[in-house]
Structure 1
Amino acid sequence: MTRAESFTEEYWRDPHAALAWAREHEPVRAVDFEGGRTWLVTRYADVRAGLVDPRLAKDHRSALPEHERATTPHALPAPMSHMLTSLDPPEHTRLRALVTQAFTARRVAELRPRVLAVAEDLLAGLPEDEPLDLVARYAIVLPMVVICELLGVPDIDRDEFARLSTVLIDECPDEELARASAQMATYLEGLVAAKRAAPDDALLSALITASDEGDRLTDLEIVAMAMLLLMAGHETTAVFLTNGVRALLAAPALIDRLATPASAAVLVEELLRWLSPAMNASLRFATEDLVIGGVPIRRGDSVMLSTGGANRDPARYPAADQCDPDRDTTGHLAFGHGIHRCLGAALVRLEGEIGLSALFHRYPRLRSAADEDDLTFRRSVHVHAPRTYPVVLGPRNRE
């Protein structure tokens, strides 16, 4: 495998095979990404260390000489440039503190009845005996409804929003990325204005109130936060639900693990490790010369830390390519590590557990309506998932 062969159709279809090769033969390797060289890091120990290394910054300007930083534009269009995933301390610390309390384990646990009700409502409206796209009809909609309610976002054009979100996460031309970012920002700017005029008790209004009371949030920061939470709040779970169903249909003996919330939670944790809904962390930039896995990294170089590669590292998890709910999953990196660890980890776990359990309980004879070889996969280094996943639900469980 050469540098130029890193992100190909073979990678989009089976990134774990490509990451396994890299982990064994070239664990810190140069890859072509977005027109330049990036260092792809695939071993668990190196990835985990990199996720907390302050010398790896999210803003590329941190690697520039100080006199150039103020006049150099951000690599991403606004408001993406102001998302938590693009910021370093102290800006990151200030903004993250404003939303952390909304995603504590206790507060997320209180959402269980509502998430279950949403799942059951969605499933009740699906046809039993004809093929349907599980992605569009269930996997995307469940987490989108939940995150919209949490933020206080009214009903939106979900198909259009999902399309824009996919553009912002998948590989696409810079012009299309900028256009999608602007379209989503325009919608959210209007929503912020509406919430300022008529606030409610949801998270978006709380962010606006904090800003108005002097917490130094600009409207751009509020829009960026809302965009990140809406995108991350449904994308990761949608990918996990889709791939979780595929995994369970391929290993039906594991479906029994969904029988109780406790055993389902254990299964979900192993599926999170094994599937890695976020395959690679967003880029970081070396602010000084350093060494990763014995490879010299120069100041200004970009680094991609592969959580998907790390989670299947046999040096950390024996027989790592096997999905084994009885294993110790401690320390998996499905949600990252350190200050940028996923804010919504508890929510993804809850939606994953309820989403899979409710689906297989109501439709125990669920089956795929497509061969795996016929699936078309998203071209994204961040997530691995089919664009559509046709299934036939089969007869409902009448219990």
Structure 2
Amino acid sequence: MTTTQEAVAAAEGCTPQFRRDPHPVYARLRQAAPVCPLRPPHGNETYLITRYEDARAALSDPRLSKDMYGAMDAYRRIFGDSSVALDDNMLNSDAPKHTRLRRLVSSAFTPRRVHALRPGIQAVVGSLLDACPVREPFDLLPAFAFPLPVIVLCDLLGVPPGERSRMQHLSTTVAQTGFGEEAKRAQQKAEEDLHAYFTDLIAAKRRRPGDDLLSALTAVRDNDGGLSENELVSTAFLLMFAGHKTTAYLIGNAVHHFLSRPAQLRAVREDPGLIRAAVEELVRYEGSVESGTFRYATEDVEYAGTRIPKGALVQIALSSANRDPRKFDAPDEFDVRRPGNAQDAHLGFGHGSHYCLGAPLARLETQLALTALFDRFPGTAPAGRARWLEVPFPAFRGLAELPVVLDPAG
């Protein structure tokens, strides 16, 4: 088997070795097969784009559609019928619909609203750390990294505190990666429950609006009207789904890599102003979204000399693009002082019209979480081997387990 075939086999099979460290495989693909045909478990013809310039171009290529309703047969085979009702949102649409939905949501999801969340996020971070054991091993993910974004998103949307654990469970079930019948049934039930829950919550917000994003979305209007009922439900789901596991895994990845590199952590602790640049470097180096959501070719397109036929699905390997040596010097080094690491250099939050609307919130949560954790427990250390997710096809890049010991003594 050639090196390229080995790389493709690893990428297709998502072996444990690949999931623990996919970057050597991506490096070989960038060199030998930058647009790689895959045979994923869902059975649809799929191409993986791995180089930075190709990825950046593909993220804003109008020939690569995000409107999965246009690829309905493929969509239904992958996600099932129950997903359709929850995917009527800006993530799964093209212009002009995407433009309208994003404008409406942006008018409610403002920088002012995100900035106003800072004291609340700091309070949540503090309360979660209060509940963590000190000087004894535990898994940081379920105790800290996962509940933080759920609580923040529930507060943002106006979900009552008593429903937070339910939201975490349902969004986790929907986000699980699996193509077996049991996994699909669990996902379908969670999707139906989420649809019913947000439908009822939106009705309650109409009767009694609050100072929350969901109330603002029910009232927002522009020249084209407001969000339809299904668009409202789907947008609420998108904000919860897109902002939960992505931020949780980013925080986990960040803690893991800082604990593995004491000099980098020391640099940030000695210069707190570095935290923003450090988070950008973390998104580049080990972002939580390994590949972008599906696109499909509305016509034949060509990237890196490879023809992608009309109707094929396209995945963009963000993790690979962000370590492309054609764009970044010494890309496999984690360096919080990386020169020229502007916020728009990496592709961890996407690019173009579909650039992540929640990126400012994810950045803020991660910055505040890392600052509080290491300021309060400067002696934090690993308590065993961190375990990476092992899933049948790459979507999220994150840890399944992160054992640590918190120690207030530096």
TM over 0.5: yes
Deviations 1:94-132 (A, max 9, x none): 111112144444542333222222211221222202222
How far has the Cα of 1:155 moved from its partner? 1.4
Displacement of 1:19: 1.8
Q: Which amino acid aligns with 2:406?
A: L
Aligned residues: 390
8 Å CA contact retained: 2:121, 2:152: yes
The aligned residue for residue 41 of structure 1 is: 49
Structure 2 equivalent of residue 81 of structure 1: 87
Match among 252, 256, 260 for residue 242 of structure 1? 252
Q: Does 1:154 align with 2:157?
A: no
The amino acid across from 2:123 in the alignment is A
Shift of 1:89: 1.4
Asked if residue 197 in structure 1 is aligned to residue 207 in structure 2, the reply is: yes
Q: Does 1:9 align with 2:16?
A: yes
Q: Deviations over 1:4-54 (max 9, x none)?
A: 542232232222232222212211001122222210000000000000100
Identify which range, 163-172 or 247-256, moves more after superposition: 163-172
Given the alignment, which residue of 377, 383, 392 partners 2:389?
A: 377
1:132 aligns with 2:145: no
Instruction: Say if 1:32 and 1:8 are closer, same or farther in 2 by CA, change over 3 A.
Output: farther
Partner of 1:51: 59
**Range with greater deviation from structure 2 (255-264 or 298-307):** 255-264
Distance 2:401 2:78 in 1: 37
SS at match of 1:36: coil
- Measured in 1, the distance between the counterparts of 2:376 and 2:108 equals 31
1:50-74 CA deviation, whole Å, 9 max, x = no partner?
001000001245469xxx9xxx999
SS for the counterpart of 2:296 is strand
Contact 2:154 2:164 in 1 (8 A): no
Which position in structure 1 is the counterpart of 2:273?
262
AA aligned to 1:253 is A
Secondary structure, counterpart of 1:308 in structure 2:
helix
Deviation at 1:350, TM superposition (A): 1.0
The alignment's C-alpha RMSD in Å is: 2.6
- Which shows bigger deviation, 97-106 or 264-273? 97-106
The amino acid that maps onto 2:334 is C
Change (3 A) 1:161 1:14: farther
User: Given the alignment of the two structures, is residue 29 of structure 1 paired with residue 42 of structure 2, yes or no?
Assistant: no
Report if the CA contact (8 A) 2:147-2:168 is conserved: no
**Displacement of 1:232:** 1.6
- Compute the displacement of 1:396 (Å): 6.2
Asked whether the equivalents of residues 278 and 336 of structure 2 are also in contact (C-alpha less than 8 Å), the reply is yes
1:307–1:212: structure 2 CA closer, same or farther, 3 Å change rule?
closer
User: Contact 2:104–2:226 at 8 Å: present in 1 too?
Assistant: no
Q: 1:93 to 1:75 in 2, by over 3 A?
A: farther
Rounded to whole Å, the distance in 2 between the matches of 1:225 and 1:347 is: 16
Conservation of the 8 A alpha-carbon contact between 1:170 and 1:381: no
C-alpha displacement at 1:355, in angstroms? 0.5
Specify the code of the residue in structure 1 equivalent to 2:18: Y
The alignment partner of 2:307 has SS state of strand
Spell out the pairing of 1:105-184 with structure 2 (5 A cutoff): 105-173=111-179, 174-184=184-194
Q: Map 1:179-328 onto structure 2 (within 5 A).
A: 179-210=189-220, 215-256=225-266, 257-327=268-338, 328=340
The structure-2 alpha-carbon separation of the partners of 1:318 and 1:213, relative to structure 1 and needing over 3 Å to count, comes to closer
Amino acid at match of 2:194: M
Structure 2: runs of 5+ lacking an equivalent: 1-5
Amino acid paired to 1:365: G
CA contact (8 A) 1:46 1:292 kept: yes
1:203-251 Cα distance to aligned partner (Å, 9 max, x none):
1011112379982422211111001101222222111110100000000
Q: Which structure 1 segments of 5+ residues have no match?
A: none
Residues 338 and 153 from structure 1, CA distance in 2 versus in 1: closer, same or farther, beyond 3 angstroms? same
Q: 1:73 to 1:318 in 2, by over 3 A?
A: closer
State yes or no: 1:337 paired with 2:351: yes
Greater displacement, 113-122 / 204-213: 204-213
The aligned amino acid for 1:326 is: R
In structure 2, the CA distance between the partners of 1:359 and 1:217, relative to structure 1 (3 Å rule), is: same
Whether the 8 Å CA contact 2:252–2:402 is kept in 1: the answer is yes
The SS at the match of 1:78 is helix
| Offset of residue 82 of structure 1 | 0.9
Question: Structure 2: how far apart are the matches of 1:234 and 1:74?
Answer: 19
- State TM-score, norm by structure 2: 0.88
Secondary structure at the residue paired with 2:314? strand
Q: Give the letter for the 1:377 counterpart.
A: L
**What TM-score, normalized to structure 1?**
0.90
Q: Conserved in 2, the CA contact under 8 Å of 1:104 and 1:346?
A: no
